[in-house]
Structure formats: C-alpha cells, structure tokens
Amino acid sequence: MRSERASLPTPTSTKSFWHSEPNEFLIGHRTTEELSAEADVVIVGSGITGTSAARYLAEDQRADGKSIVILEAREACWGATGRNGGHCQPLLFDRSSDVAEFELKNVAAVRSYIQKNDVPCEWRDVTGCRSFWTDGAMQEAEKEIEHLRSIAPEIARHVTIIKDKEDLKKHRVAHDCIGATLSEGAASLWPYKLVAFTLKKLVEDGRINLQTKTPVTEITSSDGKHILHTPRGTITSKTVILATNGYTSALLPSFADLIVPCRGEMSALLPPRGSTILPDSHGMVAALDQPANNDDYLIQRPFAGVPNPRGHLMFGGGRGAGKGGSIGISDDTVIDEGSAAYLRAALLKVLELDGEIEGLKELEAAAQWTGIMGYSRDNHPWVGKVPEKDGMWLCGGYTGHGMPNGTLCGKAVVDMVLGEYEGKELDAVQTRMVEKGDIPKSYVLTKERVKRARKMMTVQQQDEQGVHMNGVV
C-alpha cells in the first residue's frame, strides 16, 4: 500500500488558544532581513524538537562558532507544539521500561530548564490520572503494569491502580469508570510560551538565526551539501536536522509510510461557574464508546496568578467521533465538527465537575482548533541520520506524544551530529548513548529498523484494526 506524502504546513490554520498570547518579539521574526546563503547547521521546524536541538547545539562547546539557522514555514512554534494538549506526561507502562525511564528524564529536563530560567509557562506538577472505561482496556493496563513491576520495579513504583469508587471520586472521575491509573512525574504547561521563551533567548544571545514564514519546499543535494529551497531563495548546509514531525514526508518522501500525519482536535473549554481546579491531568481510554487505541486527554489552566486566569479545560481527542477523517491528513485549517461536539459534551459525563452543572449539556468553547501529529509506523520516534543521505538528520514521529520526548530527542540528535563532527563512528556514538540511557534503542534510526517497520501493518491498517497507538498529546 503506497502512502501519500504529507502536504507542507498550510499558510493559515485554525486558531489555537495557545496562540492567544503571542510572543510579539517572534511574530514575523527574521533575525536577518535576507536568508543566509549557507549555514553550518539548518534546522527545519521551530517546535519543541527543533528549538531544543538549537538550544543544545548553542550550549555545546563542540558547536562553538558554528552558524545555526532555524527555518519555520509559519510563525514560530505554530505547528504541533503550539497546538497540542499541554501535557508533559510520561507513559510509564505502555512501552518498554527504558522508554518510560527516558520520558521521566525528559520531563525532569523540561522542569529543570523552566525552573532555572523562571519561564512563565504555567508549569504545574500533577499526577497523571488515566481512566479506563471498558473491562478489556482496564485488564490490558493491569497486565502491562504487572509486567513492569517484574522487570522495572523502580519505575513501577510511580504507578498506582485505583478501582474503589471513593478513590475515583477523589480524582473527580465519574463513578461508572472501571478503574484508573495514577502516574507520578506528570506536568501541565503552556507549551508555546516555553518554546517562545527559549527561541527569543537564543536569538537575543546571538546563538541562532530564526527565519519565520520561510517554508522549505524541497531539499536537493549536490557535492556533499544539501540545498534547501524556499520562496525567499535557497540556503545550503552540510548538516540539516528535520524537526518536522507530521510534515516530514513533504520533504522526505521515502518516509511517507513511516511517519504519517494525523489530524487531532483540541479545545479550550470554560469550566462551570463556581468550579474548582482539578488536581490531576487526565487521559481517558475507551470512554463513551471511543476506540481504545486513541485516548482523550485533559489538563486545566490556573484560576489565579496568570494572565486570563479562567481555569480553561484544555481537552483534546474525540477522534472516534470525527466525521472528516484523521490519518493521512496534514491540513489543520479545518475543525472536525463531530470531534468538536464530542469534546464540548464529554467532560460532563466522564468527570465529576463541580460548580453550577445543573442542566448543563455541554461546556462553552473559548477556542476550538486542530493540529497535525506524526504517527510512527512502529510506534516509536525516529532519531538519527537518514539512510543514504549523509548530513541529513531526522527527529520526529512521536505518535501524539511529543512533549515528554521532544526535548531529549532534540539533544540526542545533536549529540549524534556533534559526535560525527569529532570524527567518531556513528554506530559507536549511538551504542554509547543507548547504554547511558540518553536515547532508547527503539528510537534510533537505522536501515534495519526501517526494514522491520515496513513488515508491519501500515499506520492506517493499525488504526482501523484498533492496534494501540497512543494519542496523548
């Protein structure tokens, strides 16, 4: 089955709530009026991954004196990171224990940067409450947690199972839920504000050249260099890092079947009058007859101490209620009314919201929008050098789970690039990184992994047959 390439990011998009307080310094920002003819490193994409890669390059002495250019098709952080659910929640029992450990480290790294730099991005440490609404979904979770306890008890201690109705009530989960898991180490935040802060600092410190509204339309190669074509001219570099996630195949056609775009629906809902803040972030599995292989997800904004403190319920998902399709779609100009209607109504049924809820059928949406995720064929991000394309690197394919991965994946790809700069063999660099826990082995991009992935069902087939592909953004 041939997969269609993703389109380039559309010039306009649905209006994300996260962009309601834009960083004025970054709007329309171009560090230099003209596009540089060449650079040592070009990063395509300015979300959490591209920005993290730029930051780790700028902080590493091995990259001293090297010019770094970030190209962004739209405004800075206007793709998935600026449109996601605001979760930074590690999934501790869905994948292997080394992945869980890596995601915990990733959340800690994000927390550390925010605290060190006092970034105003509404970071809140929370417990991740994941509720299960069918016996089958609950049993699968219990089986995975039991396995985790046997192989990695130090990670499993972060997870608790609750089924008692009084315990569920304490976490504001509706009484007809089968059960839930509580995971430590989760957080919620305003993702755009974190990335915008980081980009602005890098530009002001003279470490990067950021060029917004400069879509890369094609990449060609000649004499060991890559030529990135844009409507403003070309820029040439020996080293290119694609941080393009769901849009990757627009520039890298060979990955059309390995990283597939998927449109997701998000909303910012006004809580009932007189309600209080939820203590946890939430994921809902198989709620309200939704397929068990794509979760709904929720965080809540503060009621005080921040601009516009209205306690917005930032709720996403509802893919099973969608009418316009999702897999293979890279157009975020459209709101799916089926999914949007589901999101407005669902929280009144799956949570014990307090305040004035009498007679309330749905919550008022302050904003509704869509964003494009990148679903990986083997359910793991792709981090490393693109086969047969020396000097071209890829970091993406998070399957809707980028915030607990993108920061340290960005660092990992930088460590691979700089290791090669030092003359080290890439295989040796990657092996050492895996041994140190700097990247899970399952994330490393190799020719062998590409071959293995292509023997699996396609992303479309997995979605249709209910194979678990996490959509917790």
Task: Report the alpha-carbon distance of residue 124 to residue 172 in Å, rounded.
Answer: 18
Map tokens 């002495």 to a residue. 61
| pTM value surpassing 0.95 | yes
What's the confidence (pLDDT) of residue 473?
37
CB-hemisphere CA count at 13 Å for 127?
17
Q: Do domains 17-82+192-259+378-464 and 125-185+265-369 have the same CATH topology?
A: no
Sequence spans of domains, the chain: 17-82+192-259+378-464, 125-185+265-369
Token readout for 316 is 């996403």
Q: Tens of pLDDT along 324-382?
A: 889 999 999 999 999 999 999 999 999 999 999 999 999 999 999 999 999 999 999 99
Which residue intervals of 11-86 are DSSP H helices?
48-59
Identity of the residue numbered 325: G
Q: Tens of pLDDT along 133-191?
A: 999 999 999 999 999 999 999 999 999 999 999 999 999 999 999 999 999 999 999 99
Task: Report the alpha-carbon distance of residue 198 to residue 345 in Å, rounded.
Answer: 36
pLDDT exceeds 90 at position 3:
no
Q: Which CATH architecture has domain 125-185+265-369?
A: 2-Layer Sandwich (3.30)
Q: Which CATH architecture has domain 17-82+192-259+378-464?
A: 3-Layer(bba) Sandwich (3.50)
Phi then psi for residue 202, to 5 deg, are -65, -40
Q: Tens of pLDDT along 244-267?
A: 999 999 999 999 999 999 999 999
Task: Report the alpha-carbon distance of residue 63 to residue 137 in Å, rounded.
Answer: 47
Map tokens 């109504």 to a residue. 345
- Residue 297's closest CA among 130, 149, 110, 133? 130
Q: Which residues pair with 234 in a beta bridge?
A: 229
Token readout for 192 is 């755009």
Distance of CA 41 to the CA centre of its chain: 23
Map tokens 């006092």 to a residue. 118
Is 224 in contact with 238 (CB distance < 8 Å)? yes
What's the confidence (pLDDT) of residue 52?
98
Q: Tens of pLDDT along 66-96?
A: 999 999 999 999 999 999 999 999 999 988 9
